[in-house]
A and B are shown apart, each in its own frame.
Chain A
Amino acid sequence: GAVVSQHPSRVICKSGTSVKIECRSLDFQATTMFWYRQFPKQSLMLMATSNEGSKATYEQGVEKDKFLINHASLTLSTLTVTSAHPEDSSFYICSARATANTEAFFGQGTRLTVV
Chain B
Amino acid sequence: RKEVEQDPGPFNVPEGATVAFNCTYSNSASQSFFWYRQDCRKEPKLLMSVYSSGNEDGRFTAQLNRASQYISLLIRDSKLSDSATYLCVVRPGGFKTIFGAGTRLFVKA
Q: Which of A's residues lie within 8 Å of B, judged by CB?
A: 1, 32, 34, 36, 42-44, 46, 49, 51, 57, 91, 93, 95, 97, 100-101, 103-109, 111
Is B1 located at the chain interface by the 8 A CB criterion? Answer: no
Q: For residue A109, which residues in chain B have a CB less than 8 angstroms away from its CB?
A: 41-43
Q: For residue B58, which residues in chain A have a CB less than 8 angstroms away from its CB?
A: none
Could you tell me the distance between the alpha carbons of A109 and B41 in the complex, rounded to whole angstroms?
9
Whether A43 and B101, one on each chain, are in contact in the complex, defined by CB atoms closer than 8 angstroms, is: yes
Size of the B side of the interface (Cβ < 8 Å), in residues, is 21
Whether B96 and A49, one on each chain, are in contact in the complex, defined by CB atoms closer than 8 angstroms, is: yes
Q: For residue B44, which residues in chain A have a CB less than 8 angstroms away from its CB?
A: 44, 93, 106
Do A108 and B95 contact each other (CB < 8 Å), given the known contacts A43-B87, A44-B87, A101-B32?
no
Q: For residue B45, which residues in chain A have a CB less than 8 angstroms away from its CB?
A: 106
Q: For residue B46, which residues in chain A have a CB less than 8 angstroms away from its CB?
A: 1, 103, 105
Give B91's nearest chain A residue, CB to CB.
Answer: A100
Whether A104 and B101, one on each chain, are in contact in the complex, defined by CB atoms closer than 8 angstroms, is: no
Whether B95 and A49, one on each chain, are in contact in the complex, defined by CB atoms closer than 8 angstroms, is: yes
Q: For residue A108, which residues in chain B have a CB less than 8 angstroms away from its CB?
A: 42-43
Q: For residue B95, which residues in chain A have a CB less than 8 angstroms away from its CB?
A: 32, 49, 51, 57, 100
